[in-house]
Amino acid sequence: MLYTLSHSPTQCDLPALLRLTTQGDDLLLLQDGVLAGLAGSAHLELLLNAPISLYALKDDLEARGLIGHFSHKITVVGYNHFVELTEKHHSQMAW
């Protein structure tokens, strides 16, 4: 399953989202969801402990000025890779 997080981690139940995930799932951070990937944050630790692959939309990182403050453990992607992720997964859940 592809999960997309578009809300700030302070405005949603990130632990609940991560409890739904299983091995092989992907999570794409976009819009304010990219805040979850800030280096050194408690939200990042939650993400890194989940059994999923993590991605973030580059345009949203740039729009918020976060490129230099973002974790290198999350793969930064463009819209083409976003499309590939949607093609890879038959189901998607937006948060």
Q: Tell me the C-alpha distance between 94 and 28, whole Å.
A: 10
pLDDT tens track, the chain, 95 positions: 999 999 999 999 999 999 999 999 999 999 999 999 999 999 999 999 999 999 999 999 999 999 999 999 999 999 999 999 999 999 999 99
End-to-end CA distance of the chain: 13
Burial of 69 (0-12, 13-18, 19+ CB in 10 A): middle
